[in-house]
């Protein structure tokens, strides 16, 4: 029953995140009068479809995402209602709309969580490894991390601390800690290649819940926007650290988790409570937004980068050429997905 539950929850999360992403593309294309041939939930083969106006709305057999077929997106069409006939501004907005939708989903969920009640956490230091950056910086057991770089956060958890540490590997990190009722600024340099079992900082940490904080319906969106901004910043910094490690040969910061790992985390979080499950969905949605805006072919950011190149060279890149490039990188991304899935399986064995 555990595996079935994990698969069901994973499919639910993927459908929510990917379909909302595709809905962003769909609604924006419609807004600009671009013809949308199909909006699909799930991936082909098709189970059934209903045509309304010029668009086919389909339900497909593979429940691992969704898609939008926009007229003239992958080929040059001399038609005023085609995607290819539009200017760089409109095309960029249509492509970026998926990323914007994911950010909006994250913001709405975090705002709801803030209104419903957010557990306020501090992160306690439970162990400090000898000769680690944490010990050299002066961390002691019992310290509580409450913020970064001079800013005290309303709530902070272990996941945020790990994300911050990973984003600062090889550089100086600044922690705001509580000790004996007073605040201290502690500076430490997380290691790029830490000893096995210690982590970059050399601490074992745990969440300490202090209270439940509920925002009014008017203040919840402000809290949601602040949390959204903070998470986007941490995710982007972590992404920079990840790609930096690939080019420098350093150890990849943190564990790269694939679909199987996400399914396990989603199942555990769902069992903890709906608030925690919604919080996880918000984080995944923001991760999806950051990943998709990267200027890599096959991703939304890569497509926008092509539009910029076209503007610079003052002529369009043939749709067939762009299609080959995007297809190649799509296969590379699938290969990477298979690799991280294998890592997930290896951790389970």
The answer to whether residue 348 scores a pLDDT higher than 70 is no
Quick: pLDDT tens for 292-312: 999 999 899 999 999 999 889
Mean pLDDT, the chain, as a whole number? Answer: 87
Strand ranges, E, within 115-179:
118-128, 144-148, 151-152, 173-179
In this structure, are residues 55 and 39 in contact, taking their beta carbons and an 8 Å threshold?
Answer: yes
CA–CA dist 87, 98 (Å, integer): 18
More confident residue, 200 or 323: 200
Range with the poorest average pLDDT among 83-97, 203-217, 280-294: 203-217
In this structure, are residues 100 and 20 in contact, taking their beta carbons and an 8 Å threshold?
Answer: no
Mean per-residue pLDDT for 64-69?
A: 87
CA distances from 174 to 66, 148, 205, 235 (A): 41, 6, 16, 17
Stated length of the chain: 349
CA–CA dist 165, 151 (Å, integer): 16
Mean per-residue pLDDT for 118-132?
A: 88
| 55-75 residues labelled b (16+ CB within 10 A) or e (exposed) | bbbbebeebebbbbbbbbbbe
pLDDT tier at 134, thresholds 50, 70, 90: very high
In this structure, are residues 90 and 25 in contact, taking their beta carbons and an 8 Å threshold?
Answer: no
In this structure, are residues 66 and 41 in contact, taking their beta carbons and an 8 Å threshold?
Answer: yes
pLDDT tier at 251, thresholds 50, 70, 90: low
Mean per-residue pLDDT for 251-279?
A: 73
71 in the Ramachandran plot: left (φ > 0), alpha (ψ -120 to 50) or beta? beta
Give the per-residue pLDDT at 248: 64
Question: Three-state SS for 129?
Answer: coil
Give the per-residue pLDDT at 339: 81
Work out the burial of residue 291: count CB atoms within 10 Å of its CB; fewer than 13 is exposed, 13-18 middle, 19 or more buried. Answer: middle
Contacts of residue 52, defined as CB under 8 A and 6 or more positions apart, other chains included, come to: none
Picking from 346, 341, 111, the residue whose alpha carbon sits closest to that of residue 219 is 111
Mean per-residue pLDDT for 182-204?
A: 89
pLDDT tier at 47, thresholds 50, 70, 90: very high
Give the per-residue pLDDT at 252: 56
**Positive or negative torsion for Cα 62, 68, 72, 73:** negative
Percent of the chain exceeding pLDDT 70 equals 93
Picking from 118, 115, 105, 103, the residue whose alpha carbon sits closest to that of residue 276 is 118
pLDDT tier at 190, thresholds 50, 70, 90: very high
Picking from 31, 47, 42, the residue whose alpha carbon sits closest to that of residue 94 is 31
Count of other CB atoms within 10 angstroms of residue 289: 26
Give the per-residue pLDDT at 344: 67
The answer to whether residue 29 scores a pLDDT higher than 90 is yes
Prior bond of 94 cis (ω within 30°): no
Give the per-residue pLDDT at 2: 66
Mean per-residue pLDDT for 305-331?
A: 87
CA–CA dist 312, 304 (Å, integer): 13
Give the per-residue pLDDT at 333: 85
The answer to whether residue 20 scores a pLDDT higher than 90 is yes
DSSP H or E run through 191: none
CATH number for region 118-213: 2.30.42.10
pLDDT tier at 253, thresholds 50, 70, 90: low
Mean per-residue pLDDT for 177-204?
A: 90
Give the per-residue pLDDT at 291: 93
DSSP H or E run through 65: strand 55-70
Count of other CB atoms within 10 angstroms of residue 160: 19
Kindly state the greatest CA–CA separation across the chain.
71
Contacts of residue 16, defined as CB under 8 A and 6 or more positions apart, other chains included, come to: 105, 281
Mean per-residue pLDDT for 343-348?
A: 67
The answer to whether residue 108 scores a pLDDT higher than 90 is yes
């Amino acid at each position: 029953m555990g595996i079935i539950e994990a698969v069901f929850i994973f499919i639910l999360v993927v459908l929510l995140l990917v379909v909302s992403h595709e809905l962003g593309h769909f609604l924006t294309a419609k807004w600009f009068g671009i013809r949308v041939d199909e909006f699909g939930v799930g991936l082909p083969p098709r189970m059934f479809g209903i045509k309304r106006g010029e668009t086919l709305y389909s339900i497909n057999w593979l429940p691992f995402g969704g898609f939008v077929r926009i007229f003239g997106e992958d080929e040059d069409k001399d038609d005023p209602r085609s995607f290819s006939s539009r200017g760089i501004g409109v095309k960029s907005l249509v492509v970026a709309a998926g990323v914007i939708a994911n950010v909006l989903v994250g913001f709405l969920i975090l705002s709801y969580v803030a209104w419903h009640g957010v557990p306020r956490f501090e992160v306690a230091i439970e162990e400090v490894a000898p000769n680690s950056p944490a010990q050299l910086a002066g961390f002691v057991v019992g310290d509580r991390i409450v913020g970064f770089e001079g800013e005290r956060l309303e709530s902070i958890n272990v996941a945020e601390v790990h994300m911050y540490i990973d984003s600062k590997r090889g550089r100086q990190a600044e922690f705001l800690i509580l000790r004996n009722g007073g605040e201290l600024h502690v500076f430490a340099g997380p290691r790029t290649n830490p000893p096995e079992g210690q982590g970059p900082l050399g601490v074992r940490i745990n969440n300490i819940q202090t209270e439940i904080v509920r925002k009014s319906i008017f203040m919840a969106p402000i809290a949601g926007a602040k949390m959204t901004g903070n998470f986007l910043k941490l995710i982007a910094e972590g992404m920079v650290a990840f790609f930096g490690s690939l080019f420098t040969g350093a150890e990849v910061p943190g564990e790269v988790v694939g679909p199987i790992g996400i399914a396990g985390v989603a199942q555990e979080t769902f069992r903890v409570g709906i608030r925690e499950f919604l919080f996880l969905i918000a984080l995944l949605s923001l991760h999806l937004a950051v990943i998709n805006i990267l200027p890599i072919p096959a991703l939304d950011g890569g497509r926008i980068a092509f539009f910029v190149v076209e503007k610079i060279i003052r002529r369009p890149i043939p749709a067939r050429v762009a299609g080959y490039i995007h297809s190649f990188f799509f296969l590379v991304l699938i290969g990477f997905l298979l690799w991280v899935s294998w890592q997930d399986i290896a951790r389970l064995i």
